[in-house]
Amino acid sequence: MSREAVEHYIAEHARIASLDTDWLHSLRQSAISSFRRTGFPDTRQEDWKYTDVRPILKRRFVQAGDTLDTVDTPELTALRFPGLECHDQVFINGVYGKEYSSLGPLPEGVILLSLAEALIRYPQRVKECLERFPGMDENGFNALNTAFLTNGVLLYVPDGVAVETPVHLMFVSNRQQPPQVSHLRNLVLLGHNASLTLIEDYTGQENAEYMTNSVTSICTTQGSALQHYKLQAESLKGYHISTTRIQQERDSKVESCSISLGGGLVRNDLVVSLDGEGAEVSLDGLYIANGRQHVDNHTWIHHHSPHTSSREEYRGVLDGYARAVFNGKVIVHEQAQKVDARQSNDNLLLSDNAEIDTKPELEIHADDVKCSHGATIGQLDENMLFYLRSRAIDEETARSLLIFAFADAVISRISFQPVRERLESTVLGKLPDAGLIRDFVK
């Protein structure tokens, strides 16, 4: 099965690849060769032990054409922040939707373009961004992503520029026959002391079957600051494979928040490399899954430099037959002394059939570091439930309240208010008695 699926994408590649410039052509060719060699990951590989991608291989997703599908989706409207000005970039089934996008006035020197356009107008910039992340194509999905590299955005912020208006990337997929795949590549480069708020929103039409295969690479150079929100609410029949790579130079600061609420099969890889002294990162994550959803979060934090710090907290709420995987690796490299790294993963299992495989890992090669990690798995606390009920709160409301409070430990830390409020409202909406407990969180 795997072989046939691989051939399918190689044929797709041949169908699509055409008007490439030389370097791009060879980049894509080399990626498709890698893909031909590696194919899709399987459960014999340690990093994919708990996530079986065979459902993806059974399907033959095709690349969306150049023409934009018309969207009349409440899904897209729901992503916009009412009353908030953003630089909106919208993609429908992976294709840039100019008429749905709106760019406010950008500070001088800032480039925010669809990748297709950037390849024409700023090929050197694109090339530079790509070259900062060598070796990506070892993973089959990433190799495919490179092989089909066309869609996504280029976002460049020059030295010293603070982009005050948030950049909001919206990726919407809808029902198509045959089902489509979006290979998205977002390239972000922040100059020295630049700052930015970036929101990546992924969603799909209800019950639409499709695949999103996205790669976002972010480079924060010296003294820059980024707030990054990746909000995944794909269709329950959607497949979402994503890789986020963050490279941090000296004194840069990144706040990353990854929320997974949708998707039938979800895999998020997040790789952070702290490459300069004083670099700081916080990774917050939340996954809420029900039914037969499968959500896998793999994170790697590489402390390459001394005096770097990382804090990571992922939380999960699983009901029904949902299954989640958390694998978080913190690697403190040899020369990285005086590192501060804290990591935790906490899970709430609401049904006997839900499952979590959690594996926090620490790998320390330096001797003067402060590191901690831990994982918990539990049900709702009976003492808390009884306490609330003894205060006249009915059982179902009490349960909802405790579930929400558990998830809100992650959400409440989000410093960008519109995202925080939308998530609180979305998470509340998933719970019984939302109206009643809404009162508690105001």
Partner 1 sequence: MLSIKNLHASIDEKQILKGLNLEVKAGEVHAIMGPNGSGKSTLASILAGRPGYQVTAGTVTYENRNLLEMSPELRAREGIFLAFQYPVEIPGVNNIYLLKAALNAVRKHRGEQELDAMDFLKLVREKMKLVRVREDMMSRAVNEGFSGGEKKRNEVFQMAILEPKLAILDETDSGLDIDALKIVAEGVNSLRSTERSIVLVTHYQRLLNYVVPDHVHVLADGCIIKSGGKDLALKLEAEGYDRIREEAAAA
Positions that interact with partner 1 (CB under 8 A): 381-384, 386-395, 398, 401-402, 404-406, 408-409, 412, 436, 439-442
- What's the closest the beta carbon of residue 375 comes to partner 1, in angstroms? 18
Cβ atoms of 311 and 284 closer than 8 Å: no
With a CB cutoff of 8 Å and minimum separation 6, the contacts of 433 are 396, 397, 400
- What's the closest the beta carbon of residue 405 comes to partner 1, in angstroms? 3
DSSP 92: E
- What's the closest the beta carbon of residue 392 comes to partner 1, in angstroms? 4
Q: How many CB atoms lie within 10 A of CB 73?
A: 20
Nearer to partner 1 among residue 194 and residue 414 (C-beta): 414
Cβ atoms of 210 and 183 closer than 8 Å: no
- What's the closest the beta carbon of residue 289 comes to partner 1, in angstroms? 20
Nearer to partner 1 among residue 284 and residue 408 (C-beta): 408
Nearer to partner 1 among residue 74 and residue 435 (C-beta): 435
- What's the closest the beta carbon of residue 332 comes to partner 1, in angstroms? 30
Rounded-to-integer distance, Cα 305 and Cα 250, Å = 9
Nearer to partner 1 among residue 7 and residue 396 (C-beta): 396
CA-to-CA dists, residue 148 to 29, 31, 140, 170, 249, angstroms: 10, 9, 12, 19, 29
- What's the closest the beta carbon of residue 438 comes to partner 1, in angstroms? 10
Tokens describing residue 412: 């409440």
3-state SS of 130-186?
A: HHCCCCHHHCHHHHHHHHCCCEEEEEEECCCCECCCCEEEEEEECCCCCCEEEEEEE
Nearer to partner 1 among residue 85 and residue 421 (C-beta): 421
Nearer to partner 1 among residue 287 and residue 300 (C-beta): 287
- HSE toward the beta carbon, residue 119, CA cutoff 13 A: 18
Tell which phi-psi region holds residue 152, choosing left (phi > 0), alpha (psi between -120 and 50) or beta.
left
Strand 294-303 relative to strand 323-332, pairing? parallel
Rounded-to-integer distance, Cα 109 and Cα 368, Å = 42
Nearer to partner 1 among residue 17 and residue 380 (C-beta): 380
CA-to-CA dists, residue 347 to 47, 216, 322, angstroms: 20, 27, 12
- What's the closest the beta carbon of residue 435 comes to partner 1, in angstroms? 12
Nearer to partner 1 among residue 98 and residue 386 (C-beta): 386
Tokens describing residue 14: 């041949």
Nearer to partner 1 among residue 25 and residue 413 (C-beta): 413
CA-to-CA dists, residue 355 to 12, 45, 117, 405, angstroms: 36, 20, 44, 21
* CA neighbor of 202 nearest in space, from 75, 378, 28, 370: 75
- What's the closest the beta carbon of residue 402 comes to partner 1, in angstroms? 7
- H or E stretch covering 397: helix 395-411
Tell which phi-psi region holds residue 223, choosing left (phi > 0), alpha (psi between -120 and 50) or beta.
left
Nearer to partner 1 among residue 269 and residue 408 (C-beta): 408
- What's the closest the beta carbon of residue 342 comes to partner 1, in angstroms? 18
Nearer to partner 1 among residue 33 and residue 426 (C-beta): 426
The pair phi, psi for residue 195, each rounded to 5°, is -145, 155
Rounded-to-integer distance, Cα 81 and Cα 422, Å = 8
* CA neighbor of 280 nearest in space, from 312, 306, 252: 252
